Amino acid sequence: MDTRKTELRKTSLNTVHRESGARMVAFGGWDMPVQYAGLISEHLAVRQFAGLFDVSHMGELEITGPGALTFLQRVTPGDVAGLVDGQGQYTSFPMPSGAPVDDVVLFRRSRGHYFVIVNAANIEKDYEWLLAQSPRDCEIANRSDEFALIALQGPKAEAILSGLTSVSLSGLRFYHCTVGEVAGLEVVVSRTGYTGEDGFELMLPSADAPALWRRLIEVGAPSGLVPVGLGARDTLRLEAKMCLYGNDIDESTTLVEAGLGWTVCLNEGKGDFIGRDVLADQKANGARRALVGFELVGRGIARPGYPVFLAGQEIAAATSGSHAPFLRKSIGLCYMPKSQAAVGTEIEVGVRGQRVAARVVRTPFYRRSR
């Protein structure tokens, strides 16, 4: 039996995290910070001030060539033809079943030049999937090792970043990107986010990331900026009901079931794409089940995998669940039969052998004031 341990991969910010006192954990094959000062304080800092995240473990796939648009129209459900230079969209790579190989963020850099940000655990899978779809007149390159990705999130994010860049941040619209100098470094600045707050992602060569990270912390600390680990990243995205691949969506859940039907374009100009027939049918006639949010009424904390009961019968398992630090309640997600998933439906969640009262609620659980 081979007892050798696979060595964890490290982002270019690994040393910085350790210098900052981060508690490191194995995550998807990477050595990543789970928390610094503490999950709750980091979570609240992002909601009230700002937080800095190392998301360099995410992957970057580049698709170039005259056939890039045609190819992306076929392998994603959104209308890529509607994008202009610097514009992005949240999308996925659906299978014929309508379930996603991965959920991704796609940016058009220029005509015939696209960048796709993919989930860390799916980099190789996504790359191989795209190659298997017979791309024509375009090249697909995995450039994940070349770049670092830093996310700056929170209500103070724009003010903090504006002091370090000449990029017009107020003019950078949601799900758009541009190239400019940040702290003297050339950076691709995008405005998306995975926390429910306003914020920016900074993509730059891996070797430059430590200097940028340190400069951001130096400038942002007086405004409340703190480094944030994977723990708070998960609770923040759950409060905002942002799906986590491998938990809330995977190859067994269709995009419509997961509440992502809005990413599916069925306009005539879009043309055919993988999974279109299944997704079109579910959008027209409804899916059998739906991903819903719930909150516990009784005491306890829901965790992924905990059983969910309806009228005394086990019907599902929580796909995500946690104490929500900002909302001060226990929340979670699960799939329920669509006919029984109305807001207000009373359910129970099995917590350590005890059934705890819960109810289906509207999502997102948290929505920032604009």
- Classify the C-alpha dihedral 68-70-75-81 as positive or negative: positive
Residues 156 and 283 in one domain: no
Establish if 244 belongs to a structural domain: no
- For the segment 184-206, the average pLDDT, to the nearest whole number, is 97
- Tell me what pLDDT residue 1 has: 41
Residue range 245-274: average pLDDT? 97
The answer on pLDDT for 200 being more than 60 is: yes
Is there a single domain that holds both residue 166 and residue 308?
Answer: no
Specify whether 286 is located in the same domain as 332.
yes
> Domain check: are 228 and 271 in the same one?
no
Residues near 304 by beta carbon (within 8 Å), at least 6 away in sequence: 247, 317, 318, 319, 320, 321
Q: Examine residue 33 and state whether it is found in any structural domain, yes or no.
A: yes
What is the rounded CA–CA span in Å between residue 274 and residue 97? 8
Query: Quick one: tokens of 91?
Result: 């999308």
Please say if the pLDDT value at position 370 is more than 90: no
Answer for the pair 87, 27: CB distance below 8 angstroms, yes or no: no
Determine the Cα–Cα distance for residues 60 and 81; give it in Å rounded to an integer: 21
* 200 plus 277 within the same structural domain: no
Domain count, the chain: 2
Say yes or no: 201 and 152 in one domain: yes
* Residue 296 pLDDT > 50: yes
Q: pLDDT band for 103, please (50, 70, 90 cuts).
A: very high
Percent of the chain with pLDDT over 70: 98
pLDDT average, residue stretch 25-30: 93
pLDDT at 75 over 50: yes
Distance CA 222, CA 369 (A): 23
For residue 82, give the 3-state DSSP assignment: helix
What pLDDT shows up at residue 92? 98
At position 107, the amino acid (one-letter code) is: F
Counting runs of H as helices and runs of E as strands, what totals does the chain give?
A: 8, 19
* Mean per-residue pLDDT of the chain: 97
Split at pLDDT 50, 70, 90, the class of 369 is confident
Q: Indicate whether 160 pLDDT > 50.
A: yes
Please check whether residues 330 and 231 belong to one and the same domain.
no
Residue 56 has pLDDT above 90, yes or no: yes
Tell me whether residue 3 is in a domain: yes
pTM, full prediction: 0.96
Q: Are residues 159 and 43 in the same domain?
A: yes
C-beta separation of 32 from 24 below 8 A: yes
**pLDDT at 311 (0 to 100):** 96
Q: Tell me how far CA of residue 360 lies from CA of 210, 223, 316, 333, 338, in angstroms.
A: 43, 37, 13, 9, 12
Q: Is pLDDT above 70 for 4?
A: no
Average pLDDT, stretch 180-198? Answer: 97
DSSP H stretches of helix in 187-330: 209-220, 230-239, 276-285
> Is residue 339, in this structure, part of any structural domain at all?
yes
Predicted local distance difference test score (pLDDT) of residue 3: 43
Q: Which domain holds residue 157?
A: 1-237
The contacts of residue 72 (CB under 8 Å, 6+ apart) are 63, 80, 106, 114
Q: Classify the C-alpha dihedral 30-36-42-43 as positive or negative.
A: positive
225 and 269 co-located in one domain: no
From 138, 124, 121, 28, select the one nearest 75 (Cα to Cα). Answer: 138
Examine residue 316 and state whether it is found in any structural domain, yes or no: yes
Question: What would the DSSP string read from start to end of 307-360?
Answer: EEEETTEEEEEEEEEEEETTTTEEEEEEEEEGGG--TT-EEEEEETTEEEEEEE
* 125 located within any domain: yes
pLDDT at 5: 59
**Closest C-alpha to 130, from 98, 97, 92:** 92
Q: Do both 57 and 182 map to the same domain? A: yes
213 is a domain residue? yes
Residue 28's pLDDT is 86
Predicted confidence band of residue 73 (pLDDT cuts 50, 70, 90):
very high
- pLDDT beyond 60 at 278: yes
**Greater model confidence, 370 or 296:** 296
DSSP code per residue over 15-41: HHHHHTTPEEEEETTEEEEEESS-HHH
